[in-house]
Amino acid sequence: MKIAFALVAHEPTDERVYYQQAASLQQAGCEVFIVSSRTTRTEIPASYCFDDTGIPKKQLIKKLAAYLTNLRPDVVICDNPLAVLAARTYRKKNKHCRIVQDITEWYPSKKNLYDLPVLKKLSKALLLAGLSFVAAFSVNGFIFGEYYKARPFRIFFFWKKYTYLSYYATPGQIATYPVNDITERCSLFYSGSLTAEKGFDRVLEAAVQVASKYPQIPFILTLVTGTSNYDFPATLPSNLTIRQKGILPFPDFCSEIGKHDIFFDLRKKDFENTRCLPIKLFYYLACGRPVVYTRLKAISKEVPEINEVGFLVDPRKTEEIVSAVSRYLENPAFYQNHCHAATQLVSQKYNWNRIQASFAQFILNP
């Protein structure tokens, strides 16, 4: 069976697509292709790329459909309504083709409507919602990454086939390291944009206050980010070092993260964010390390054991964040228990190996 991924919102090396879904389908004996409009070149085999910057949406759909026509897949897995429309164009002359949409993002999302006047924001939201509805009507089935993003489609397209496929890490890809004594040296970690929206200001403030509270402990705050122009405070506690790395290729990211002791994500809690399950959460847990995250509905829903492996906090309350980290620093046994619990949860429940067979079964069987 030939399977093609049609990607408008993701690069061909996206961890969920290339390292998990495509790899699982290849193991099942499929011929797999990846078509992406996010980059002009890629090193991975059986991939076809072009840059859609400045290309009108109709032209993008036409170009993506042309790639599919040349590849002649039996199933097209799409990441976006525009990709679905391209697959639908291809299917008009290839009736046997099935189309599956992988729902991992809100559409429209607030990032689609950012910085628009109220009326333009409303009209664009309605346009994108209509596009999403048309695309959903065209597909044969859905892959849902999480509960809340599935709900609209489960309600309005209840008769269509679906499967849930969460963002679990593949354990063998994550390098693991012995648990450190964080009372001797503590490495804090943040990955993402250095913006208030993503909560980096809260991460930095918490790191400063924790370092000030425990002057005898050397702290390192490692940042993996594409942001290069953040204005850090002129003075920081003498025992706090900030190390900034650029965006890492996925294998390097998997090798790097396990070297750290506590992971932060303190994004704003708004209507959309609280219903979004952060993907990196499962990668951090796969390291066998605790997390300090914003108290999001999606996390409580998808990981009910979260209090066994970390803390959910109000990102506006720095004292609550500092208190969470202090619990670990003042009780090393408690920290080690959370590390062990994270390792056990990933081993027994939250890992890709447990769900990949059901994913392949869903794709291969109409």
Per-residue pLDDT at 107: 87
Q: What percent of the chain lies above the pLDDT cut of 70?
A: 100
Per-residue pLDDT band for 41 (boundaries 50, 70, 90) equals confident
CB 311 within 8 A of CB 324: yes
b vs e for 106-133, b when ≥16 Cβ sit within 10 Å of the residue's Cβ?
bbbeeeeeeeeeeeebeeebeebeebbe
- Which helix H or strand E contains 257, and what residues bound it? none
What is the mean predicted confidence (pLDDT) over 176-186? 97
Asked whether the predicted pLDDT for residue 225 surpasses 80, the reply is yes
Per-residue pLDDT at 360: 96
Asked whether the predicted pLDDT for residue 366 surpasses 80, the reply is no
Query: For the whole model, what pTM was predicted?
Result: 0.94
Per-residue pLDDT at 112: 83
Per-residue pLDDT at 118: 87
Per-residue pLDDT band for 29 (boundaries 50, 70, 90) equals very high
Asked whether the predicted pLDDT for residue 94 surpasses 80, the reply is yes
Per-residue pLDDT band for 91 (boundaries 50, 70, 90) equals very high
CB 225 within 8 A of CB 203: no
d(C-alpha 259, C-alpha 257), whole Å: 5
Per-residue pLDDT at 325: 98
CB 237 within 8 A of CB 186: no
